[in-house]
Chain A
Amino acid sequence: VYQVFENVAKKYDVMNDSMTLGIHRVWKDILIHKMNPCPGTLLLDVAGGTGDIAFRFINYVRSVRQRQLQRKLKHHQNLSWQEIFESYQKDQFNSLGDSQVVVCDINKEMLKVGKQKAQHLGYSEGLSWVLGNAEELPFDDDKFDVYTIAFGIRNVTRIDLALQEAYRVLKPGGRFLCLEFSHVSNPLLSRLYDLYSFQVIPVLGEVIAGDWRSYQYLVESIRQFPPQEELKAMIEDAGFFRVDYENLNFGIVAIHSGFKL
C-alpha cells in the first residue's frame, strides 16, 4: 500500500479530479457541512495527507467566526471607535477561534504535498502535520472533538484497530466521520460503475500518472471494502453510538457517522 501512495502522492489531486470528474470536491464539501464545526473545534484528520479536508475545515470555521464577530459588533453599537478598533485587533489574531486541525498520515510524500499546498494557499494557523499510523495513533486519549478519515480507511489493514484508535482519541461527545467509497445496490448503475472503474480509471492512471497498477489497486480495494451495513456494524463494535450512514451518488460513496458517549 505504501508504495502505491508514494507513486500517487504527487499526482493525487489531479487523479482525484479526473477519476471522479471533480465530484470528489463536492463529497468533501458535504462532509464538512455535515460536520458543521463551530470555532474552537479540534479536528483530527487521518489519512488526510494532501490536506483537502483540513483546508475545508479551516475555511468553514473561519467563515463561521467571521459571522460571529460581525454579529458581536452589531450588538455593540455604543462602543467607542477605539474599542471597536481594539476588538478587531484582538480578533484578527483569532480568526479561527482556536480551532485546530491535525493531519495524520502514514505516508511522508502525501504529507509533504499537503504541507506545500498549505503554504501555497496561505494556510498556516491552526494546522499541524504528523506522520502516524491509523492503527496506532500517537495521540493521547480523549483529545479530539472530531475524527475524520476521508478515502483512507479502505487502505488500512486492520480497520477494527483504526476504529478502536479513533474511539480512544475522541473526547466523550466526540464525532467519528468516515467518507469512503461504498457499494451501489442498483444493478444497472452498478454495472456502469464497474465498467467505468475497471476500463477507464486505470487508463487515466496510466495517462496522467504513468501508473496503471496503482490505480488498478485502488479500484480493486474499493470493491473489496465492506458495504455500508457491514462498516456500520464495525463502527458500532468499536464502541460508537448512533451510528448511521448517508449514501452519496447512489452509494458510490457513503458518509458514516458515530458518536463517542
Chain B
Amino acid sequence: GPAHGRQCHRQQGSGSGSGSGSGSDSGSARPQPPEPSLLRFLVCPLSKRPLRYEEATNELINEELGIAYPIIDGIPNMVPEAARMTRKKPPAEGSEQP
C-alpha cells in the first residue's frame, strides 16, 4: 500500500481538492495529475496563453501553437525544451532557448 506515514492536513484523495504530495514515492508509475489550483496560474511560457489539461496524456496543451508540456512526478515541466509537438507540421516559430 502507499507509504504515507506523514501528517498531512488534507486526506490523500487522488485528484480531488487541493494539497499535493499524493503518493509520489519510489516505484509508483501512476502519472500524477497537477494540482487543480496550479492550473489557474499556468500559461504557456512562450505565448503566455492559457493551456488545456489533457488527462489522457497528463499534459498541458497549447492548442494554438500545437505544443504539449509534460507533467512528470506531478510537476509540470513548463520549458519549451520539454514540450512536444501535437501536430505533424511544426508551428511557424522555433524556440530559441539558450
Mutual binders A and B: yes
Q: Which residues of A contact B (CB under 8 A)?
A: 92-93, 95, 100, 102, 106, 108, 111-112, 115-116, 118-120, 122-133, 136-141, 143, 157
Most chain B beta-carbon contacts within 10 A, residue among A95, A119, A137: A119
Q: Are B44 and A138 in contact (CB under 8 A)?
A: yes
Q: A122-B7, A128-B20, A130-B38 are in contact. Are A115 and B45 (CB under 8 A)?
A: no
Name the A residues within 8 Å of B78 (CB-CB). Answer: 130-133, 138
Chain B contact residues: over half helix, strand or loop, or mixed? loop
Known contacts A115-B74, A120-B6, A124-B19; can you find 17 more A-B pairs with CB under 8 A? Answer: A102-B41, A111-B75, A112-B75, A116-B24, A118-B21, A119-B21, A124-B9, A124-B10, A124-B21, A125-B9, A129-B74, A130-B76, A131-B82, A136-B80, A138-B43, A141-B48, A143-B41
* Min C-beta distance of B41 to chain A, whole Å: 5
| Residues B68-93 near A (CB distance < 8 A) | 69, 72-80, 82
Q: How far is the CA of A125 from the CA of B75 in the complex (A)?
A: 15
Q: Is the interface of A mostly helix, strand, loop or mixed?
A: mixed
Interface size on B, as a range, is 35 or more
Per the bound structure, the CA–CA distance linking A138 and B18 in Å amounts to 20
B54 to chain A, nearest CB (A): 16
Residue B42 CB within 8 A of the other chain: yes
> Contact at B75–A124, with CB atoms within 8 Å?
no
Contacting pair A136 B37 (CB below 8 A): no
Question: For residue A141, which residue of chain B has the nearest CB?
Answer: B48
Residue pairs across A and B with CB atoms within 8 Å: the count is 93
Enumerate chain B residues within 8 angstroms of A93, measured Cβ to Cβ: 9
Find the B residue at minimum CB distance from A105: B75
B21 to chain A, nearest CB (A): 5
Closest 5 CB pairs of A and B: A138-B78, A138-B45, A124-B8, A128-B38, A132-B78
B20 CB to closest chain A CB (Å) equals 6
Contact pattern, B 24-37, Cβ under 8 Å of A = 1, otherwise 0: 10000000001101
Least distance between B83 CB and chain A CB atoms (Å): 11
On whether A137 and B6 interact (CB within 8 A), knowing A124-B20, A131-B77, the answer reads no
